[in-house]
């Protein structure tokens, strides 16, 4: 029997924009949490510059969220969006979240009480949260989540390299993943908004949980 090519799934453009807006809003909020944890490990003259850069990125991320929702409100309700990315058959959303929470809790408890290296907890969190975006990308039909997950994971080797610099404090294991993951999530929100303004529809949700 000849195989038939599955017909592409479409959503309305308004629905896709709202999905992007909701994902970007969640990413913005979690980015603020990552930033708060990361900047607390920054000391000295670098602290004001870090805070200023964070405020600029946060403002841009919030602007992206507002833009997506405003655009969605102006789009005709019946306007067809772009084809939805393949997926939807990955692990259930709550299954991924529950596994993520367990791995985070167990791992960070071991890092704190077994290794006695609490400064590594944020690096472990970046690895776990970044990894959880890969199954989420399939489940939510949002390929962009793979990019976000990969970049969050990449903050850990950057922290490792930073720790090799002579005189580097142990706090780099907290500062680099915290600030790096915040920047990734906020940049994802901005990119989602920019892409939505350039293309017929935007289905790449910036993030869902971080």
Question: 63-102: per-residue pLDDT in tens?
Answer: 999 999 999 888 887 777 676 776 677 788 899 999 999 9
Q: Which of 102, 95, 115, 122 is nearest to 180 (CA)?
A: 122
The predicted structure's pLDDT at residue 7:
53
The predicted structure's pLDDT at residue 45:
87
Given a contact cutoff of 8 angstroms between Cβ atoms, the answer to whether 193 and 206 are in contact is: no
pLDDT tens per residue, range 116-146: 999 999 999 999 999 999 999 999 888 999 9
What's the half-sphere exposure (Cβ side, CA atoms, 13 Å) at 49? 4
Weakest mean pLDDT among 42-46, 157-161, 187-191 = 42-46
Q: Is the pLDDT of residue 58 over 70?
A: yes
Q: What are the tokens at 167? A: 């005189």
The predicted structure's pLDDT at residue 160:
96
Using pLDDT thresholds of 50, 70 and 90, give the confidence band for residue 210: low
Using pLDDT thresholds of 50, 70 and 90, give the confidence band for residue 162: very high
Using pLDDT thresholds of 50, 70 and 90, give the confidence band for residue 199: low
**Mean pLDDT, the chain, whole residue set:** 87
| Residue 41 backbone dihedrals phi, psi, to 5 degrees | -95, -5
């Amino acid at each position: 029997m000849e195989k038939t090519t599955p017909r592409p799934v479409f959503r309305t453009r308004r629905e896709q924009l709202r999905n992007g807006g909701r994902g970007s809003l969640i990413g913005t909020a979690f980015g603020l949490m990552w930033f708060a944890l990361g900047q607390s490990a920054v000391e000295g003259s670098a602290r004001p510059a870090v805070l200023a850069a964070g405020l600029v990125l946060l403002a841009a991320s919030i602007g992206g969220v507002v833009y997506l929702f405003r655009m969605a409100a102006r789009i005709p309700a019946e306007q067809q969006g772009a084809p939805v990315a393949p997926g939807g058959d990955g692990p259930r959303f709550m299954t991924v979240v529950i596994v993520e929470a367990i791995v985070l809790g167990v791992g960070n408890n071991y890092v704190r009480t077994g290794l006695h290296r609490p400064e590594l907890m944020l690096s472990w969190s970046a690895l776990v949260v970044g990894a959880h975006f890969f199954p989420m990308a399939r489940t939510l039909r949002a390929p962009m989540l793979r990019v976000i997950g990969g970049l969050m994971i990449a903050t850990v080797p950057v922290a490792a390299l930073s720790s090799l610099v002579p005189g580097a404090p142990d706090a780099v294991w907290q500062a680099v993943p915290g600030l790096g993951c915040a920047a990734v999530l906020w940049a994802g929100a901005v990119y989602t908004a920019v892409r939505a303004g350039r293309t017929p529809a935007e289905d790449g949700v910036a993030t869902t949980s971080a």
